[in-house]
Amino acid sequence: MATYKGIKGVKVVTKTSDPTASEAEATVWYNSTADALKYSIAGTGAWASANAMNTARRGAMSAGTQDAGLAMGGSTAPPPGGISATEKYNGTTWTETGHAMNTARRYAAGFGLQTAAIIAGGNGPPGSQLTATETYNGSAWTTSPGTLNTARGALAGSCGGTTTAGLVFGGYLPSPFSNATESWNGSAWTSVNNMQTARNQLGGAGTQTAAVCAAGNSGGSPLNASEKWDGTSWTTVNSINTARQGPGSFGQTNTAALIFGGEAPSMSNATEKYDGTSWSTVANLGSTVYIATGAGSTSQGLCIGGNPPRTSVEEWNDPVYTIKTVTVS
Amino acid sequence: MANTYCTASNWGKGFFTHEDRNDFYLSGHPGDVWVVGNNAAGVAWINRVTGTAKTKAEAQAIVDAKIEESQAAWDALPEAEKAPTAGFETQTRPVKYTLP
């Protein structure tokens, strides 16, 4: 009689309980408690609900990963006004760090890790845009002497950037919209080539040398335009499918990014994934959201807060592993 | 009927899972309204989260009422804050939409 080992070359492991679905990827096991043969399969990416933050925020900034995230600043009420509070996420629970930014702000650019993050620009007191830059080491915020060359709010940043190498682009000026791009080397911002389309409320992802942006607003209807940064210049690339402003976004490169939510013009839950060539529609957020912030990668990421100021968080996983039972008829 | 409707309060992790999202259609809307794919997995989810069943008209009325609240709050803002040049400080006037 043929055996599983004879066919596949491995034995079926016996377990008293199922492993997690992701641990069990591409394996078969016998669950002796359930008296069932089981396996795990990889499905398409999806959002799931996560535990809420302690502080409701819209227009917040974020850094880190799905298991080690950071939410920074934002606004807690519809009337303009920024906050300085920071809280961290361990994959299950949000905890206030007790470390306040030196300058309260919202709609800034933020990136890095939970224990090595940076924020730049943003809106300060009502009607003002900031140049101030701060770094966070997991214990305290420090104001950097290196300030943005162009004060602005509602800008985007390189989600995959670090405290020594990052990029910010676009945003809102009193003039009113910016296409300015600035590169961070750990101590100073340098103006580099502008974006093709000036815009604020845009999504951004990638690194100092390989970034992508999409969506936003240039004073009219929400945009679907997308651009790619190669370390030297921006090039217009294939547009997103749903024009929008104020989306959340994340991604560690300019070949793997996610954009979600926003106004299109009503609040949206639409999610799109970039593969370096084109944007494709993927599974929607659980809820519609506007001005959320995002952290992580296209494999594991976070959608944090949003307008009206909210504590809600969703987790993106791609692929999603599911445990199945072998049925024999 | 493609979808069913309920209200339920999102308690956080586990309220809806990645597996849920791949098993049935789900979208959340203002007023804790949830549009749920009308299949066995969707019905089981409504029971799991102790959702309160609504007709589509009832669900739409809840969403509309929440958006009208948001519109009233937006209308009450100073004109300077509603101008397009206010720059991201306020969203545009909330827009009503039809539930799927």
pLDDT tier at B89, thresholds 50, 70, 90: low
User: Which residues of chain B neighbour A246 with C-beta distances below 8 Å?
Assistant: 88, 91
Residue of B9, B11, B27, B88 to mutate when probing chain A, most A C-beta within 10 A: B88
Domain that holds residue B18: 3-86
Is residue A329 helix, strand or coil? coil
Is position B93 within any domain? no
Q: What is the mean pLDDT of residues A200-212?
A: 96
Mean pLDDT, rounded, for A245-253: 96
Average pLDDT over residues A80-93: 92
Summary count for chain B: helices (H), strands (E): 4, 4
A258 Cα to chain B: minimum distance (Å): 17
A46-316 falls under which CATH superfamily?
A: Kelch-type beta propeller (2.120.10.80)
The pLDDT of residue B81: 67
* Distance, CA of A32 to CA of A48 (rounded, Å): 30
pLDDT of A221 > 80? The answer is yes
Name the burial class of residue A83, with classes exposed (0-12), middle (13-18) and buried (19+) by CB atoms within 10 angstroms of its CB.
buried
Chain A residues in contact with B27 by the CB 8 A cut-off are 269, 284, 286-288
Taking CB atoms and an 8 Å limit, are B22 and A284 in contact across chains?
Answer: no
**Cβ–Cβ gap B27/A269 under 8 Å:** yes
* pLDDT given for residue A327 in this prediction: 84
Could you report the predicted ipTM of this complex, rounded to two decimals?
0.88
What is the mean predicted confidence (pLDDT) over A62-81? Answer: 89
A308 and B70 within 8 Å at the Cβ level: the answer is yes
| B95 belongs to a structural domain | no
pLDDT of A130-168, one tens digit each? Answer: 999 999 999 999 999 999 999 999 999 998 999 999 999
Contact A78 B90 (CB under 8 A): yes
Residue contact A48–B20, C-beta within 8 A:
yes
Beta bridge partners of B74: none
Chain A residue nearest residue B70, CA to CA: A308
d(CA B61, CA A259): 30
Residue B13 has its nearest CB partner, among A51, A307, A308, at A51
A264-308 tens-digit pLDDT:
888 899 999 999 999 999 999 999 999 999 999 999 999 999 988
User: What percent of chain A clears pLDDT 90, i.e. is strictly above it?
Assistant: 79
Q: What is the mean pLDDT of chain B?
A: 89
The C-alpha atoms of residue A113 and residue A138 are separated, in whole angstroms, by 9
Mean pLDDT score across all residues of chain A? 93
| Residue B97 covered by a domain | no
Return the exposure string of A249-260: e unless at least 16 CB atoms fall within 10 Å of the residue's CB, then b: bbbbbbbbbbbb
A179 touches A145 (CB < 8 A): no
Mean pLDDT calculated for residue range A2-27: 80
The most confident of A239-253, B61-75, B76-90, by mean pLDDT = A239-253
- What is the band of B84 on the pLDDT scale with cuts at 50, 70, 90? low
Q: Is residue B68 part of a domain?
A: yes
What is residue A31's predicted lDDT score, i.e. its pLDDT?
93
CB contact, 8 Å: A89 with chain B?
Answer: no
Handedness of CA A130, B81, A219, A298 (dihedral sign): positive
Residue A79 has pLDDT above 70, yes or no: no
What's the domain count of chain B? 1
pTM for this prediction: 0.92
What integer pLDDT is reported at residue A24 of this predicted model?
80
A residues 135-194 closer than 8 Å to B (CB): 153-154, 172, 176
In a domain, B100, yes or no: no
Residue B95 has pLDDT above 90, yes or no: no
Q: What is the mean pLDDT of residues A38-53?
A: 94
Q: Choose among A215, A228, A233: nearest CA to A256.
A: A228
Residue ranges of the domains in chain A?
4-43, 46-316
